[in-house]
A = this chain, B = another copy of it.
Amino acid sequence: MRRVELRRAAAFLCALAIAAAASAQSPALSSWNDGEAKTRILDFVRAVTDPKGKDFVAPADRIAVFDNDGTLWAEQPLYFQALFMLDQVKAAAPKHPEWKDNPAFKALVAQDKAAIEKMGMKPVLELLAQANSGMTVAEYDATIRNWLATARHPKYQRPYTELTYLPMRELLDYLRANGFSTFIVSGGSVEFMRPWAEKAYGIPPEQVIGSQMEVKFEMKDGKPVLTREAKIAFVDDGPGKPVGIYRHIGKRPILAFGNSDGDFQMLQVTTAGEGRRLGLIVHHDDAAREYAYDRQSHIGKLDKALDAAPANHWIVVSMKSDWKKVFAFDK
């Protein structure tokens, strides 16, 4: 067999294998209740994968982007990364005796909301940056992994990595089984997501896009290392998300899924493209199983994007009525 023929045969075998894996997942999206959201997702995937249909999209262009906090896992009572960074302030305190006179440190340790509101976020952010920089990226990675293994969510008393949404994990699997590439596009920082995103979502490190701190190359004890600096390099939120997507992927996604106004521009750019597109928003309306919040929330505020959804044909997914289960541990 000639090389070109063998390649074709290989491609054909792979396509068969992928199709077999896809059909094995039937029924797809089993944690989703029947309804408009599920129907429109299934319709969309059918349309863009039908090689004879007018909406067909080649696998290389089946790019799907997902916000993380509040879209793939929970984000209340505070972004989990913020909780981690606060814990780093406490852990670093013994090495910083000078902090005991720092009003921001005192307010954080005492959880004194009134004092923080009075002083503003600047001194708090400076303290967080100081406690979360100066080490090599490998050292910081070890700290993140250790925290994830031991910290527990205040409401659920479970590791944070168990607070991923089961219906979203099913959707990610379903899209990949249909030839999509799935990317995280988060306001959180890349290094906080990468250690667990592959296991939790099947998304490898190179498909995680996020905010970035400055890191610096240097030689340390004869070894090349990257050291974290106390300076933000890029904020992957709001209008930053389309920039992150452009820089990292270089293609316009055909599907975007978010949950807050921080995802507004990502949804706009995705659904403004030619051909068939899908925009989706998780609406947190489930106080019983998770949390209920939108326009007034200080975390994951959903206001402008909610108003813009109908005109843009974005699907507003109700956590309460569209999802049979929220978490894998739900009964």
Contact = CB atoms under 8 A, between A and B. Distances in A.
Interface of A: 1-3, 6-7, 9-11, 13-14, 16-18, 20-21, 24-25, 60, 137, 181, 190-191, 194, 204-208, 212, 215-217, 223-224, 226, 233-234, 239-240, 242-243, 246-251, 265, 268-269, 272
Nearest to A21: B10
Given A190-B247, A247-B212, A242 B265 contact: no
A246 B210 CA distance: 12
Given A204-B60, A239-B217, A250 B21 contact: no
A224 B265 contact: yes
Residues of A contacting B: mostly = helix
Contact of A205 (B16, B215, B242, B251): B251
A243 B226 contact: yes
B14 A206 contact: no
Given A10-B21, A206-B248, A215-B247, 14 more contacts: A10-B17, A10-B18, A10-B24, A13-B20, A14-B14, A14-B18, A191-B250, A206-B207, A206-B249, A206-B250, A216-B239, A216-B243, A217-B242, A226-B243
A243 B265 contact: no
Contacts of A6: 20-21, 24
